[in-house]
Structure 1
Amino acid sequence: MDKCLPVIDLFSNGQRDSGPVSEDVSSPIIWEDMSMYYLRQLASSLQDHDLQQKIDHEIKMREGTAKLLAASKHPAQMLEAAKNLLTSNTRIMTYMTELQRRKTAEVLGKNISTIGNQLPCKAKVSVSDIRIPLMWKDTDHFKNKGDYRRYAVFCLLRIGTDIYETSMLNNVDRSMTDLTFDDIMVFNNVPHDFTCKFEVYCHKLHEDLTIASTPKKLRKKINDLSGSVGRSVGKRLSGLNDTDIIGNMVLGPRFELMASGTLELKDAGDSIGNFDLQLTSGADVTTCELPLFGVFCLRLACQPECLVEPVATGYLNLVEEDKVKPYWCVLKNLSLSCWSSTEDMEVTEPLLAIPVTKNTQISDTDPSKSAGMDHTFHIMTKQAAKTMEYTLAVESKDELSKWWDALQQHLLDQALWKHACDYLMEIRSPSPRKKPAFLRKSSIYDDTPLADKASSRPSSLVGDLKKEDDQLSEMLNTLMGEAKQIRGENSYTTTV
């Protein structure tokens, strides 16, 4: 696996002429001649087990969703399956591109060792309050005239190799002035130089021009067609099996990429912002006439780890006028908080809080102010018009190196995360996934307890039920006896 093949070679010849791989993700299939074995081996050679597991999972999801799409008959089922299939294909392409990038860097020897180099911390990024305004013609929206167009719309968001999709809005028509998605998506371990790609996919509902809804119907169409195109071509078509149909044909609705946008760190904030939406130009998009306004709204929040996770903890000695006082210190959230002991940290406010902000300087201590301590450092910070200085000491050289690196790391995080470190942005909890619309409703058989479950019931309850059964049996026997007597008397009377 030392050979590094181009990403484009993983696709069929027909796919090669369509442009870059990353741009053609609207198709709900990936051609079967893609070398999945190559992808697995490439991930294995790079010893990236996490990415390898993701690829295996998405391949299984794609195969299962394709079969589900082939068997679906209800339009809502087909739309949901087509959406899931497109998402799985997009993830696989993204993983493939990332593997190719890593392998290329390895072959060319461009791997840069990060040992000894300080890197900024990662962050948690959330996207919520997504709205997309629509621009209908006045005759369509206000006068309720014109074509009654309906659409199904959903969005994809990606940061790196993490891809999330929103819920799908069905029956979008001229009565709606904007598209509102209630989804909350949270990305973890995001670097400071991230790029969030926002994509809008649309399907026109009343013109669902698919080849067929099931493989059997498609097979029949192909067989009928094979008789009129000649022997050689017809033989190829008639030789297709169901697997080929599922893998290489579009069985259901096709979602088109309508527009896309890009978000970066500068767009993060606590409030909802407006961003440009770049409309996609192409022949396929003309069939879907969703009247997008050209902007989209959402809330992008960033929460760097340095604001919520301790950068360093341990004992520090505060030197004040030849006096040394020990404190238990925690460096987090732009502050070096000091307590008298670790137990006090959970129950009381810090006795001392030293600001560590962009206006803070870390330097060596003047020997005249070290109070005879060997391993010391100096912190000077400015707040408004006030300058505060602190001298801190540790017990060993290793401890000094630990705190020095931690303080420098905290300053680096603030410099690169910029305004995201000025205050703690709220990260809302991710929205729970809705159950698919094609799940079977509960049946009476699902709610009926099995006979073997009676053994797990309390003994008193079982005894009561047994008594009731005996009483019912006696009543039935009595009624049956009386009925026989009545029938016997009637027959006797008739005979006489």
Structure 2
Amino acid sequence: MFSRNHRSRVTVARGSALEMEFKRGRFRLSLFSDPPEDTELQRKLDHEIRMREGACKLLAACSQREQALEATKSLLVCNSRILSYMGELQRRKEAQVLEKTGRRPSDSGPPAERSPCRGRVCISDLRIPLMWKDTEYFKNKGDLHRWAVFLLLQLGEDIQDTDMVLVDRTLTDISFQNNLLFTEAGPDFELRLELYGACVEEEGALAGAPKRLATKLSSSLGRSSGRRVRASLESAGGSGSSPILLPTPAVGGPRYHLLAHTTLTLAAVQDGFRTHDLTLTSHEENPTWLPLYGSVCCRLVAQPLCMTQPTASGSLRVQETRVRAGELEQAAGRPFTLSISNQYGEDELRHTLQTESRGALQSWMEALWQLFFDMSQWKQCCDEIMKIETPAPRKPPQVLAKQGSLYHEMGK
């Protein structure tokens, strides 16, 4: 089987069209070697493929509900990343082919003179409010359903996810404690948030129904008759052929459904807590429906590189200004200077800086114009540096805490 890292000899048939192209010099070795950024993306793709295989094996071997939920979540995240990486690789390959043939992409016009700097985008303090009915939340009536939910976030080809959270009617909102950082963002970024959920009771109740049913029948029919009924139910449950029991799900493992989504852009960046609208994808008639209020609260901040890294470095001399009486003496050589003025309220402060040569002056002017352009693209993110906390390393998923309500205690 062919491997990317495997070295082997390639034989070209004599007189073939490929040999003629080599002789003419139309093919270069650079066409057969991937750029470093493509190699890194391919490495990420191979890693996610291996992770997906591991998640499939773990899901097949899961014996606990909590493990199945985590394995299914990992499988969904891996699939999303694989599709994202494959799409990005395809776009890069097409751009390379168009560049080699001297053509531009179909959507390209004249090349832009400047490109804005990249930056970091961090989202934290994610909360999604819930809207329960009065009878469910205040009067504690109705069936107690539970959902396992998590957020999937995508910016470009980078996809990240939050921890899984259990939700029931005792909660007023869904709170995610993760700080998610995207390090390669442009001012035109689009951060897509997707909320996925799986109804735990949908399959969890099925798993415990045979045992509870057998227990209730044995206690209501008496000792001798009850024992025989219970034994027949348990033996039939082991074979999986009893028509009395509820049918087992066709798919081994829980199913996550897309409950809501939204897209955040540069306009949503603010150094503070802010509320954004969600687009709901499920209705109350849907078995996987979760009573979402229709909004998400979060803190979305950005740090352009022009605010955290030096744009240019070198030697500049502040030119002194003196007022003297007398005739003006013509300078032997015209100094290479540039003026920078800052407005402080109604006052204006101007500095005149002198460089050593014309080339240095042009370099400084180019750096300043690039800085002005970056600030015009990142807008409010350049008013002041927004604080970004480095996300803590992700811990292995813990076993979901069991509910301590009377409902769940009676179901044991």
TM-score by length of 1: 0.59
- 1:405 maps to 366
Distance 1:254 1:51 in 2: 29
Which blocks of at least 5 consecutive residues in structure 2 are unaligned? 1-30, 208-239, 242-249, 324-328, 401-412
- Alignment size in residue pairs: 319
Alignment map for 1:144-155 (pairs within 5 Å): 144-155=140-151
Report the alpha carbon displacement of residue 252 of structure 1 after superposing the two structures with TM.
1.3
1:132 to 128, 131, 143: 128
Partner SS, residue 387 of structure 1: strand
Deviations along 1:108-138, one digit per CA (max 9) or x if unpaired, are 5335799993211111111100000011111
- 1:254 maps to 255
Report the alpha carbon displacement of residue 369 of structure 1 after superposing the two structures with TM.
10
- 2:61 maps to 71
Asked whether the 8 Å contact 1:211–1:251 carries over to 2, the reply is: no
Report the alpha carbon displacement of residue 97 of structure 1 after superposing the two structures with TM.
1.9
Distance 1:81 1:42 in 2: 38
Alignment map for 1:390-401 (pairs within 5 Å): 390-401=351-362
Distance 2:341 2:131 in 1: 56
Between 153-162 and 378-387, the greater mean CA deviation after superposition: 378-387
Report the alpha carbon displacement of residue 96 of structure 1 after superposing the two structures with TM.
1.7
Report the alpha carbon displacement of residue 418 of structure 1 after superposing the two structures with TM.
0.4
Give the greater-gyration-radius structure (CA).
1
Alignment map for 1:307-386 (pairs within 5 Å): 307-321=307-321, 372-386=333-347
Matched, 1:195 2:176: no
Q: Which has the higher contact order (CA 8 A, sep 6+)?
A: 2
Alignment map for 1:208-357 (pairs within 5 Å): 208=203, 250-281=251-282, 286-321=286-321
Partner SS, residue 194 of structure 1: coil
Deviations along 1:71-114, one digit per CA (max 9) or x if unpaired, are 11111111111111100100011112222333344455335799
For 1:159, the aligned partner's letter is L
Partner SS, residue 61 of structure 1: helix
- 2:180 maps to 185
Distance 2:294 2:85 in 1: 30
Deviations along 1:379-428, one digit per CA (max 9) or x if unpaired, are 23322111222222211232122211111111111111001100111101
Distance 1:67 1:294 in 2: 36
Distance 1:48 1:384 in 2: 50
Asked whether the 8 Å contact 2:283–2:289 carries over to 1, the reply is: no
Distance 2:332 2:48 in 1: 62
Q: Check 1:374–1:270 CA distance in 2 against 1; reply closer, same or farther (3 A cut).
A: same
Report the alpha carbon displacement of residue 253 of structure 1 after superposing the two structures with TM.
1.1
Report the alpha carbon displacement of residue 189 of structure 1 after superposing the two structures with TM.
2.1
Distance 1:188 1:370 in 2: 50
Partner SS, residue 287 of structure 1: coil
Q: Check 1:206–1:371 CA distance in 2 against 1; reply closer, same or farther (3 A cut).
A: farther
Asked whether the 8 Å contact 1:91–1:161 carries over to 2, the reply is: yes
Report the alpha carbon displacement of residue 63 of structure 1 after superposing the two structures with TM.
0.5
For 2:164, the aligned partner's letter is M
Distance 1:204 1:320 in 2: 73
1:83 to 53, 66, 73: 73
Asked whether the 8 Å contact 1:159–1:194 carries over to 2, the reply is: yes
Report the alpha carbon displacement of residue 55 of structure 1 after superposing the two structures with TM.
0.5
Asked whether the 8 Å contact 2:131–2:293 carries over to 1, the reply is: yes
Report the alpha carbon displacement of residue 44 of structure 1 after superposing the two structures with TM.
4.4
Asked whether the 8 Å contact 2:38–2:89 carries over to 1, the reply is: no
Distance 1:173 1:76 in 2: 16
Alignment map for 1:423-462 (pairs within 5 Å): 423-437=384-398
Which blocks of at least 5 consecutive residues in structure 1 are unaligned? 1-40, 213-223, 226-248, 324-367, 440-496
- 1:35 maps to none
Asked whether the 8 Å contact 2:55–2:75 carries over to 1, the reply is: yes
Partner SS, residue 313 of structure 2: strand
Distance 1:42 1:100 in 2: 15
Alignment map for 1:75-114 (pairs within 5 Å): 75-107=65-97, 109-110=103-104
Distance 2:387 2:157 in 1: 24
Q: Check 1:57–1:210 CA distance in 2 against 1; reply closer, same or farther (3 A cut).
A: farther
Runs of 4+ in 1 over 6 A off after TM superposition: 112-116, 209-212, 368-371
Asked whether the 8 Å contact 1:125–1:302 carries over to 2, the reply is: yes
Partner SS, residue 80 of structure 2: helix
Distance 2:68 2:150 in 1: 14
Asked whether the 8 Å contact 1:370–1:376 carries over to 2, the reply is: no
Distance 1:105 1:373 in 2: 47
Asked whether the 8 Å contact 1:370–1:391 carries over to 2, the reply is: no
Deviations along 1:446-481, one digit per CA (max 9) or x if unpaired, are xxxxxxxxxxxxxxxxxxxxxxxxxxxxxxxxxxxx
- 1:62 maps to 52
For 2:315, the aligned partner's letter is Y
Give the percent of matched residue pairs that are identical in Structure 1 and Structure 2.
Answer: 43
For 1:124, the aligned partner's letter is R
For 1:55, the aligned partner's letter is L
Q: Check 1:282–1:293 CA distance in 2 against 1; reply closer, same or farther (3 A cut).
A: closer
Q: Check 1:321–1:293 CA distance in 2 against 1; reply closer, same or farther (3 A cut).
A: same
Instruction: Supply the RMSD in Å over aligned alpha carbons.
Output: 3.3
Distance 1:292 1:369 in 2: 76
Report the alpha carbon displacement of residue 59 of structure 1 after superposing the two structures with TM.
0.3
Asked whether the 8 Å contact 1:127–1:298 carries over to 2, the reply is: yes
- 1:416 maps to 377
Q: Check 1:173–1:210 CA distance in 2 against 1; reply closer, same or farther (3 A cut).
A: closer
Distance 2:195 2:53 in 1: 24
Q: Check 1:406–1:61 CA distance in 2 against 1; reply closer, same or farther (3 A cut).
A: same
Q: Check 1:313–1:46 CA distance in 2 against 1; reply closer, same or farther (3 A cut).
A: closer
Distance 2:366 2:111 in 1: 13
Distance 1:133 1:200 in 2: 13
